[in-house]
């Protein structure tokens, strides 16, 4: 039986790897935004229809303190009217049409409130709330979540702004909050920020993990470094099979994609071929 030990160890290691991969969340980026207009209820509905585990959306505070779903600081790209979200009341923003830019079939889609997005979440699904403004949103954010049917455990807050993550974790240490970082590659082939800076930033703001811009070359080392420090690892935005598979192999807990159904099939195909 002693001779069985290496084999049973190998089997349990393989099982551990495959169960990690099975649990990788598929997060629909701005909803299923390859098909439907980003950050609308139609895009989030399409994400659930495509079998996403979670949706990601971008949120900002309006002039009168409501939380709306909008990626850019202005409404120009997705509605045609050039209004600064932070300087505009909800009464005006709710009249805008946010679907036609993606195709005439989507005409009539509106800018949703965060409360609308939460109300439309199926049981057991998750949401990655990306805060696109500053920490001034935090009191309204917690009030909106508390008034919804969605539990804190279903919510991950993400932000590039370190002060947002710091304020969220200070207000509610139990909520998951991940700092987002892009990476720039120099001519010498080095990346900014470097991995040590990433770790020290996460620790300094009290983040639970990193939402990393997907650079294939960084995937493995970044995963190893984050695991070493007991920090979560998430990647955006990945639409190709190869990239999805390589980030899952590098140990990400979630893959954020514009094409949730396709990503699900890419990752399932890899499992079947193992």
Dmax (CA) for the chain in angstroms is 73
| Nearest CB to Ca ion, comparing residues 53 and 58 | 58
Site string for Ca ion, 40-79 (x = CB under 5 A): ------------------x---------------------
Site string for ligand G3P, 62-81 (x = CB under 6 A): ---------x----------
Contact 219, 246 (CB under 8 A): yes
236 near ligand G3P (CB under 6 A)? yes
Residue 5 structure tokens: 């030990």
Number of helices (H) and strands (E) in the chain: give both, helices first: 11, 11
256 near ligand G3P (CB under 6 A)? yes
Rounded to the nearest whole angstrom, what is the least distance from the CB of residue 232 to ligand G3P in the complex?
A: 13
Neighbours of 8 (CB within 10 A): 10
| Nearest CB to ligand G3P, comparing residues 53 and 130 | 130
Member of 130, 199, 218, 219 binding Ca ion (CB under 5 A): 130
Which among Ca ion, ligand G3P, none contacts residue 48 (Cβ within 5 to 8 A by kind)? none
| Nearest CB to ligand G3P, comparing residues 83 and 158 | 158
CA 32, CA 50: separation in Å to the nearest integer? 8
Burial zone of 1 (CB within 10 Å; 0-12 exposed, 13-18 middle, 19+ buried): exposed
DSSP assignment letter at 81 = S
User: Residues in contact with ligand G3P, total (CB under 6 A)?
Assistant: 10
Member of 211, 244, 251, 260 binding ligand G3P (CB under 6 A): 211
3-state DSSP assignment of residue 143: helix
| Nearest CB to Ca ion, comparing residues 21 and 232 | 232
| Nearest CB to ligand G3P, comparing residues 15 and 84 | 84
Member of 58, 109, 126, 208 binding ligand G3P (CB under 6 A): 58
Contact 170, 207 (CB under 8 A): no
Residue 111 structure tokens: 């800018």
Member of 26, 35, 40, 56 binding ligand G3P (CB under 6 A): 56
Radius of gyration of the chain (CA): 20
29 near ligand G3P (CB under 6 A)? yes
Q: What are the backbone angles phi and psi of residue 181, rounded to the nearest 5°?
A: -140, 135
Contact 213, 183 (CB under 8 A): yes
Contact footprint for Ca ion (CB under 5 A): 58, 130
Contact footprint for ligand G3P (CB under 6 A): 29, 56, 58, 71, 130, 158, 180, 211, 236, 256
């Amino acid at each position: 039986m002693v001779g069985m030990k290496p084999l049973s160890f190998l089997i349990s290691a393989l099982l551990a790897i495959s169960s990690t991969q099975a649990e990788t969340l598929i997060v629909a980026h701005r909803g299923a935004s390859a098909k439907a207009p980003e950050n609308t209820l139609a895009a989030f509905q399409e994400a659930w229809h495509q079998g996403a585990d979670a949706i990601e959306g971008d949120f900002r505070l309006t002039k009168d303190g409501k939380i709306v779903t909008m990626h850019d600081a202005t409404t120009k790209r997705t509605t045609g009217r050039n209004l600064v979200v932070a300087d505009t009341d909800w009464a005006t923003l709710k009249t805008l049409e946010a679907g036609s830019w993606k195709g005439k079939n989507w005409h009539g889609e509106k800018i949703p409130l965060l409360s609308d997005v939460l109300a439309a979440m199926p049981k057991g699904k998750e949401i990655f709330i990306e805060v696109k403004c500053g920490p001034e949103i935090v009191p309204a954010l917690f009030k909106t979540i508390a008034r919804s049917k969605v539990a804190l455990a279903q919510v991950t807050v993400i932000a590039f702004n370190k002060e947002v993550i710091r304020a969220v974790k200070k207000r509610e240490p139990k909520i998951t909050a991940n700092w987002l970082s892009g990476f720039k590659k120099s001519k010498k082939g080095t990346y900014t920020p470097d991995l040590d800076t990433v770790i020290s930033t996460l620790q300094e703001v009290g983040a639970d993990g990193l939402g990393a811009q997907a650079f294939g070359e960084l995937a493995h080392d970044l995963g190893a470094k984050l695991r070493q420090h007991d920090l979560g690892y998430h990647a955006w935005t990945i639409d190709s099979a190869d990239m999805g598979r390589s980030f899952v192999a590098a140990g990400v807990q979630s893959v954020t994609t514009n094409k949730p159904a396709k990503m699900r099939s890419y990752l399932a195909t890899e499992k079947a071929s193992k």
